[in-house]
Amino acid sequence: MQAPTNTEIDDYLRQLAGELSGPRRLKRDLLTEARGGLEDAALAYTRDGLDPRAARRRAVAEFGAPAELARLYQTELTAGQGRRLALLVALLPAGMLTSDLLWWQPPGGAAERPPTRFLILVETLDWTSYLAGAAALLAFLLLGSASRRRPVDPRLVVRSLAVLTLGTAGFVWTLGTFAAVHAVAEDSRALTWPPMIAAWVLLNTMFALMVRWAVRGVVATRVRPVPA
Protein backbone atom coordinates (compact mmCIF):
# COMPACT_ATOMS: atom_id res chain seq x y z
CA MET A 1 0.00 0.00 0.00
CA GLN A 2 1.28 3.45 -0.90
CA ALA A 3 0.28 6.77 0.58
CA PRO A 4 -1.68 8.66 -2.11
CA THR A 5 0.20 11.54 -3.67
CA ASN A 6 -2.23 14.38 -3.15
CA THR A 7 -2.12 18.11 -2.85
CA GLU A 8 0.59 18.42 -0.17
CA ILE A 9 3.27 16.57 -2.12
CA ASP A 10 2.13 17.87 -5.52
CA ASP A 11 2.15 21.48 -4.28
CA TYR A 12 5.61 21.03 -2.83
CA LEU A 13 6.96 19.61 -6.08
CA ARG A 14 5.37 22.42 -8.12
CA GLN A 15 7.14 24.98 -5.95
CA LEU A 16 10.39 23.05 -6.25
CA ALA A 17 10.06 22.81 -10.05
CA GLY A 18 9.53 26.57 -10.25
CA GLU A 19 12.86 27.14 -8.52
CA LEU A 20 14.86 24.95 -10.92
CA SER A 21 16.36 25.68 -14.32
CA GLY A 22 18.24 23.25 -16.51
CA PRO A 23 17.95 20.27 -18.88
CA ARG A 24 14.37 18.98 -18.85
CA ARG A 25 15.21 15.31 -18.56
CA LEU A 26 17.60 15.80 -15.66
CA LYS A 27 15.12 18.14 -13.97
CA ARG A 28 12.39 15.54 -14.35
CA ASP A 29 14.66 12.86 -12.86
CA LEU A 30 15.46 15.04 -9.84
CA LEU A 31 11.78 15.80 -9.25
CA THR A 32 11.01 12.09 -9.50
CA GLU A 33 13.72 11.47 -6.92
CA ALA A 34 12.18 14.06 -4.61
CA ARG A 35 8.69 12.60 -5.07
CA GLY A 36 9.98 9.13 -4.21
CA GLY A 37 11.55 10.43 -1.03
CA LEU A 38 8.39 12.24 0.02
CA GLU A 39 6.15 9.29 -0.71
CA ASP A 40 8.42 6.90 1.17
CA ALA A 41 8.47 9.22 4.19
CA ALA A 42 4.69 9.67 4.10
CA LEU A 43 4.18 5.92 3.85
CA ALA A 44 6.44 5.35 6.85
CA TYR A 45 4.43 7.85 8.91
CA THR A 46 1.13 6.21 7.98
CA ARG A 47 2.54 2.91 9.22
CA ASP A 48 3.35 4.69 12.49
CA GLY A 49 -0.31 5.54 12.89
CA LEU A 50 -0.76 8.96 11.24
CA ASP A 51 -3.62 9.47 8.84
CA PRO A 52 -2.47 9.85 5.18
CA ARG A 53 -2.96 13.61 5.00
CA ALA A 54 -1.10 14.28 8.25
CA ALA A 55 1.63 11.89 7.11
CA ARG A 56 2.11 13.80 3.85
CA ARG A 57 2.19 17.13 5.68
CA ARG A 58 4.83 15.86 8.07
CA ALA A 59 6.89 14.41 5.23
CA VAL A 60 6.79 17.72 3.38
CA ALA A 61 7.65 19.71 6.52
CA GLU A 62 10.67 17.56 7.29
CA PHE A 63 11.88 17.56 3.68
CA GLY A 64 12.85 21.20 3.98
CA ALA A 65 11.77 24.37 2.20
CA PRO A 66 11.61 24.05 -1.61
CA ALA A 67 14.14 26.86 -2.01
CA GLU A 68 16.66 25.02 0.19
CA LEU A 69 16.35 21.76 -1.75
CA ALA A 70 16.38 23.69 -5.02
CA ARG A 71 19.80 25.10 -4.17
CA LEU A 72 21.18 21.55 -3.96
CA TYR A 73 19.39 20.29 -7.05
CA GLN A 74 20.31 23.38 -9.05
CA THR A 75 23.98 22.53 -8.67
CA GLU A 76 23.39 19.25 -10.52
CA LEU A 77 21.19 20.95 -13.14
CA THR A 78 23.81 23.61 -13.74
CA ALA A 79 26.46 20.95 -14.22
CA GLY A 80 24.17 19.04 -16.58
CA GLN A 81 23.52 22.14 -18.66
CA GLY A 82 27.24 22.81 -18.78
CA ARG A 83 28.10 19.28 -19.88
CA ARG A 84 25.63 19.48 -22.73
CA LEU A 85 26.98 22.85 -23.85
CA ALA A 86 30.58 21.63 -23.52
CA LEU A 87 29.95 18.66 -25.80
CA LEU A 88 28.40 20.91 -28.44
CA VAL A 89 31.28 23.39 -28.37
CA ALA A 90 33.76 20.50 -28.48
CA LEU A 91 32.25 19.59 -31.86
CA LEU A 92 32.96 23.06 -33.24
CA PRO A 93 36.37 22.14 -34.78
CA ALA A 94 34.66 19.35 -36.75
CA GLY A 95 31.96 21.75 -37.90
CA MET A 96 34.55 24.26 -39.01
CA LEU A 97 35.93 21.73 -41.50
CA THR A 98 33.13 22.96 -43.74
CA SER A 99 34.56 26.48 -43.77
CA ASP A 100 36.72 25.61 -46.78
CA LEU A 101 33.50 25.21 -48.76
CA LEU A 102 32.89 28.94 -48.37
CA TRP A 103 35.58 29.46 -51.00
CA TRP A 104 33.64 29.03 -54.22
CA GLN A 105 35.02 28.43 -57.69
CA PRO A 106 33.04 28.04 -60.91
CA PRO A 107 32.48 24.34 -61.73
CA GLY A 108 34.74 23.07 -64.53
CA GLY A 109 37.20 25.91 -64.18
CA ALA A 110 40.86 25.59 -63.27
CA ALA A 111 41.42 25.28 -59.55
CA GLU A 112 42.59 28.56 -58.07
CA ARG A 113 44.44 29.16 -54.86
CA PRO A 114 42.27 31.24 -52.52
CA PRO A 115 43.55 34.76 -51.80
CA THR A 116 45.96 35.11 -48.90
CA ARG A 117 43.44 37.15 -46.92
CA PHE A 118 40.90 34.32 -47.26
CA LEU A 119 43.45 31.72 -46.10
CA ILE A 120 44.32 33.86 -43.08
CA LEU A 121 40.62 34.21 -42.29
CA VAL A 122 40.03 30.46 -42.50
CA GLU A 123 43.11 29.74 -40.36
CA THR A 124 41.84 32.20 -37.77
CA LEU A 125 38.48 30.43 -37.75
CA ASP A 126 40.18 27.07 -37.38
CA TRP A 127 42.40 28.08 -34.47
CA THR A 128 39.53 29.81 -32.71
CA SER A 129 37.50 26.61 -32.95
CA TYR A 130 40.44 24.50 -31.71
CA LEU A 131 40.93 26.67 -28.62
CA ALA A 132 37.20 26.81 -27.88
CA GLY A 133 36.91 23.04 -28.30
CA ALA A 134 39.83 22.41 -25.94
CA ALA A 135 38.32 24.72 -23.32
CA ALA A 136 34.99 22.94 -23.69
CA LEU A 137 36.59 19.54 -23.11
CA LEU A 138 38.27 20.87 -19.97
CA ALA A 139 34.92 22.21 -18.75
CA PHE A 140 33.30 18.84 -19.44
CA LEU A 141 35.92 17.09 -17.30
CA LEU A 142 35.46 19.59 -14.47
CA LEU A 143 31.71 19.02 -14.59
CA GLY A 144 32.06 15.23 -14.48
CA SER A 145 28.85 13.49 -13.46
CA ALA A 146 30.45 10.88 -11.21
CA SER A 147 29.64 12.86 -8.09
CA ARG A 148 27.80 15.95 -6.95
CA ARG A 149 30.96 16.95 -5.10
CA ARG A 150 33.24 18.63 -7.60
CA PRO A 151 36.63 20.34 -7.24
CA VAL A 152 35.21 23.64 -8.47
CA ASP A 153 31.88 25.44 -8.31
CA PRO A 154 29.84 24.30 -11.36
CA ARG A 155 28.32 27.76 -11.62
CA LEU A 156 31.74 29.31 -12.22
CA VAL A 157 32.65 26.71 -14.85
CA VAL A 158 29.33 26.91 -16.69
CA ARG A 159 29.16 30.70 -16.64
CA SER A 160 32.72 30.93 -17.97
CA LEU A 161 31.94 28.37 -20.66
CA ALA A 162 28.75 30.21 -21.60
CA VAL A 163 30.58 33.52 -21.96
CA LEU A 164 33.31 31.83 -24.01
CA THR A 165 30.66 30.21 -26.21
CA LEU A 166 28.82 33.46 -26.85
CA GLY A 167 32.06 35.24 -27.70
CA THR A 168 33.27 32.43 -29.94
CA ALA A 169 29.94 32.11 -31.73
CA GLY A 170 29.81 35.85 -32.38
CA PHE A 171 33.40 36.04 -33.56
CA VAL A 172 33.30 32.96 -35.80
CA TRP A 173 29.88 33.83 -37.19
CA THR A 174 31.10 37.32 -38.10
CA LEU A 175 34.20 36.03 -39.89
CA GLY A 176 32.20 33.26 -41.55
CA THR A 177 29.70 35.79 -42.83
CA PHE A 178 32.55 37.90 -44.18
CA ALA A 179 33.95 34.85 -46.00
CA ALA A 180 30.56 34.06 -47.52
CA VAL A 181 30.00 37.64 -48.60
CA HIS A 182 33.49 37.69 -50.10
CA ALA A 183 32.71 34.58 -52.15
CA VAL A 184 29.43 36.04 -53.40
CA ALA A 185 31.12 39.33 -54.25
CA GLU A 186 33.65 37.44 -56.37
CA ASP A 187 30.88 35.63 -58.25
CA SER A 188 27.16 35.77 -57.48
CA ARG A 189 26.77 32.18 -58.73
CA ALA A 190 28.21 31.12 -55.38
CA LEU A 191 24.72 31.66 -53.97
CA THR A 192 23.50 28.62 -55.89
CA TRP A 193 26.48 26.33 -55.19
CA PRO A 194 25.12 23.43 -52.99
CA PRO A 195 28.30 22.80 -50.90
CA MET A 196 28.50 26.43 -49.88
CA ILE A 197 24.79 26.55 -49.05
CA ALA A 198 25.10 23.36 -47.00
CA ALA A 199 28.13 24.70 -45.11
CA TRP A 200 26.37 27.98 -44.36
CA VAL A 201 23.21 26.24 -43.11
CA LEU A 202 25.21 23.81 -40.96
CA LEU A 203 27.35 26.49 -39.33
CA ASN A 204 24.44 28.84 -38.68
CA THR A 205 22.40 26.03 -37.13
CA MET A 206 25.32 25.09 -34.92
CA PHE A 207 25.92 28.68 -33.81
CA ALA A 208 22.22 29.22 -33.08
CA LEU A 209 22.18 26.13 -30.88
CA MET A 210 25.39 27.20 -29.15
CA VAL A 211 23.93 30.61 -28.35
CA ARG A 212 20.67 29.09 -27.11
CA TRP A 213 22.37 26.62 -24.80
CA ALA A 214 24.86 29.24 -23.61
CA VAL A 215 22.01 31.54 -22.59
CA ARG A 216 20.38 28.63 -20.77
CA GLY A 217 23.69 28.02 -19.06
CA VAL A 218 23.76 31.59 -17.78
CA VAL A 219 20.19 31.22 -16.52
CA ALA A 220 21.10 27.97 -14.76
CA THR A 221 23.89 29.71 -12.84
CA ARG A 222 21.59 32.20 -11.16
CA VAL A 223 22.24 32.34 -7.42
CA ARG A 224 19.15 31.36 -5.46
CA PRO A 225 19.27 32.64 -1.86
CA VAL A 226 18.10 30.31 0.88
CA PRO A 227 15.49 31.96 3.17
CA ALA A 228 16.65 32.62 6.69
**Whether residues 11 and 91 fall in one domain:** no
Average pLDDT over residues 116-124: 77
**Whether residues 53 and 137 fall in one domain:** no
Give the separation between CA 22 and CA 27, rounded to whole angstroms.
Answer: 6
Structure confidence at residue 185 as a pLDDT band (50, 70, 90): confident
Average pLDDT over residues 65-74: 86
**Whether residues 51 and 89 fall in one domain:** no
Task: List CB contacts of 112: < 8 A, sequence separation 6 or more.
Answer: 105
**Whether residues 54 and 98 fall in one domain:** no
- The 10 Å Cβ neighbour count of residue 184 is 16
**Whether residues 103 and 205 fall in one domain:** yes
**Whether residues 97 and 148 fall in one domain:** yes
**Whether residues 173 and 125 fall in one domain:** yes
Structure confidence at residue 145 as a pLDDT band (50, 70, 90): low
Higher per-residue confidence, 94 vs 58:
58
Q: Has residue 215 got a pLDDT over 90? A: yes
Render pLDDT for 151-160 as a digit per residue (tens, 0 to 9).
678 889 999 9
pLDDT at 223: 55
158: containing domain: 82-220
State how many domains the chain has. Answer: 2
Higher per-residue confidence, 148 vs 166:
166
Residue 160: give its domain's CATH number.
Answer: 1.20.120
Report, in angstroms and rounded to the nearest whole number, the Rg of the chain calculated over CA atoms.
Answer: 25
Q: Model's pTM, two decimal places?
A: 0.73
